[in-house]
Amino acid sequence: MDISEFYKRLPVVAICDQIRFGNLDGYILAAPESFWDFAGQDMSAAVNGCGPGGIGDILVPDTVYLLSIKAACKIHDWMYTIYNDEFGFELANQVFIDNMLRINNAASGFILLKWLRMRRIIKYYRAVRDFGRLFFYDAHISLYDNQVIYRC
């Protein structure tokens, strides 16, 4: 299926989109099956990185002490776009912190740097957990043709 056809079927119910592991940017990360199905296509309508775009990307960089966490942000953006219920919001945030920690554990050899990055990762997570609803419920509006609440 083409990704544009998938967008026409949004939203997706989180419990119908199984989380599985795959390789993204050299890391083994968790993501919904739909993400892996379309990973080779242009996902720019749903995925843009860690910041909100524009000047916001300066305030919210794609790196944590020189370690890129953009792969975790791509998956998180995807999940914010395709899900539209509270369970989807919580699942997206949990997968986000899990993936950031996976990247940190895989890439950080020096224990002090690993610890510093982990502290920053927790701050990223708390920010999306506490303030992400503003973006979560707005993220998908322009992609939805049909406002269907649940569909498996």
CA distance 97 to 105: 12
pLDDT at residue 16 above 90?
A: no
pLDDT digits (tens, 9 = 90+) for 93-108: 999 999 999 999 999 8
Residue 146 has pLDDT above 70, yes or no: no
Q: Minimum mean pLDDT among 22-26, 35-39, 47-51, 111-115: which range?
A: 47-51
Rounded-to-integer distance, Cα 109 and Cα 52, Å: 30
Give pLDDT, residue 83.
86
Express each pLDDT in 120-143 by its tens digit.
Answer: 999 999 998 998 887 777 655 555
**Rg for the chain (alpha carbons), in Å?**
15
What pTM did the predictor assign? 0.86
Q: How many residues does the chain have?
A: 152
Ramachandran sector of residue 25 (left: φ over 0; alpha: ψ -120 to 50; beta: rest): left
User: Using one digit for the tens of pLDDT, what is the confidence trace for 37-96?
Assistant: 998 888 887 788 887 777 777 778 889 999 999 999 999 999 988 887 889 899 999 999
Q: Using H for helix, E for strand and C for coil, what is the string for 56-100?
A: HHHHCCCEECCEECHHHHHHHHHHHHHCCCHHHHHHHHHHHHHHH
What confidence tier does 149 reach under pLDDT thresholds 50, 70, 90? very low
Domains of the chain: 3-143 (1.20.90)
User: Where residue 113 falls among pLDDT bands split at 50, 70, 90?
Assistant: very high
